[in-house]
Every structure is written in structure tokens, then in C-alpha cells.
Amino acid sequence: VVETPAPRRGPLARFRPMAPARALRGVFARLGANATAATNGLTRALGVSGWQQQDAQEYLRLLVGALLDAEAGPALKACYEGRLENYLEATDDEAERLGRRPSRTRPEPFYDVSLDVAGRADVGAALQAYLEPELMAGENRWKSDDGPCDALRGVRFDALPPVLVLHLKRFEYDYNYDEVRKLGDRVDVPFALGRAAFEPAPPAEETIADPDGEPAEAVAPAAAEDSVEVDADGEPAAEAVAPAKPAAPAEAVAPAAAP
């Protein structure tokens, strides 16, 4: 943006808003000269009123959207653009029932990711909540080409940009009071995020509770009904031999009565 030459303007130019790229160029030029950088020209170029409140994420989207149409658009895409994949696919049980897994995907570019942080301990947990799929079942079953089936709908990251912008949503609508309130929850922001933070978490293992409500211990899988004998060459024998049944416990014998 800074290296783009400024276009020539006529005598009535002061009555017309500047292009956003040129307005941003003026802001950086004044900052480079250690001067106060007024943003009136930039907000006017973006069509933002001085009385209109914009948070950082809304203002960034306006700015990025305007700069994509300028000469700096390709450089901006190479720096900030990533790819999401919206997917809709049958669950494991439905795939087994149908004999195949119906699915549908749609790619989508993104320049920032909005994360719900209410009740999340850190950014990693908010990312996992963002990637958690929605189960479509019951009346909302997916009507695929193979027939109605339960399905999972969600998004996953296909490509991450060199500069990833994460928008932490600090405001939420309160239905009880019919107002937007600011969240005061603590959210830890790590210095680095591993690759696992951008991948959906594996499904949690099911636990079976006992009658008292306590989780039961893990149960080993049942052994096969028949055991197979192996000959000296390592080949299975012709006939399967059933495992020996445990011997029945001996009956208790009462002691002989004293004479």
C-alpha cells in the first residue's frame, strides 16, 4: 500500500472520499514521519461515520474488504487468506447401515476466525468448540442422495494463512435481559498453538456407570468362543477346540459329629 503511487486528483477532490488504499497510505506516511496520524480520511474512505461505533474485528473486515479490490489485493491474500472446508457427512452408524458414507464439502476462504470464549479456559478450548460438529438427527436428518440419515455438520481447516487473525467474542446477547453484555471470563492466550489445536478432537470414549452412578471399570473385550489349535508348522488345525469349562466347585461336607 505504501509503495503504490498516489493517483492525481482534480480541484474538486476534497469533496470526494479518497480510495481506502490511498487513505491508508497517508496514515502510514505520517506514522513514518513521527507525526500524528489522523484516521478521518480512512474512516471516510471506508464509509464509516464518525458517530458509528466499530469494534476491531468489524473495522478490520471493512478495511480488508476494501483493500482486496486495490493493487495490494494479491499481497493481502498471500498474507491473511486461509481456507475452510464446510462438510456434511453421515455418522459412522449410518455409513455402516447404508454401505457407504454420503458426504458433501464446500471450500470457503477466510481472513479471520471468530471464537466463542464464554466458558472456555483458553484459546485452544475455544478452537475445539469452533471445530465441534453439529449432529443432525430426528426431524433435522440430512436428506442425502442415499436416503435420510443422521449426519455431522461442521467446518475444518484446510489451509492456514501465514498470519492468522483470531477474534475473541467478548460480547454475547443475554436473552433474559434482552441486551448485549460484555463477558468478564478469563481466557488464557498461549504464545504458541500446536497443530492439534486446529484439528477436531477425537470423540470421547463412552463410560458405563454402575447402578450407584459411579463410572465402572474398563471391561476387556470378550474372548472368542472357540480357540484354534496350531500345529508344529504354525498352521491352524482342522477342527476348532472349545475351551475347557472350569471344574464345578466341590460340595461342602459337614464335619462328622463327635461321638
What does the pLDDT average to over 35-55?
80
* pTM, entire model: 0.67
The residue-averaged pLDDT of 135-159 equals 93
Write the single-letter amino acid at 177.
Y
Give yes or no for a contact between 91 and 148, defined as CB atoms under 8 angstroms apart. no
pLDDT at 185: 84
Q: Is the pLDDT of residue 21 over 90?
A: no
Share of the chain above pLDDT 90, in %: 35
At 253 the pLDDT is 43
Which residue, 98, 81, 77, is CA-closest to 89?
A: 98
For 153-170, what is each residue's pLDDT tens digit?
Answer: 999 999 999 999 999 988
The yes-or-no verdict on residue 226 having pLDDT over 60 is no
Q: Does residue 213 come out as left (phi exceeding 0), alpha (psi in the -120 to 50 range) or beta?
A: left
Average pLDDT over every residue of 165-191 = 88
The mean pLDDT of 65-83, rounded to a whole number, is: 88
* Cell of residue 79, nine digits: 498474507
Residue 24 Cα distances to 31, 43, 163, angstroms: 11, 10, 20
* 50-59, 112-121, 201-210, range with greatest mean pLDDT: 112-121
Considering 62-66, 86-90, 193-197, 200-204, the range whose residues carry the highest mean pLDDT is 86-90
The more confident residue out of 48 and 228 is 48
How would you label 76-97 residue by residue, b for 16+ Cβ within 10 Å and e otherwise?
beeebbbebeebbbbbeebbee
User: What pLDDT, on the 0 to 100 scale, is given for residue 251?
Assistant: 47
The per-residue pLDDT for range 249-259, each reduced to its tens digit, is 444 444 444 43
* Secondary structure of residue 212 in the 3-state scheme: coil
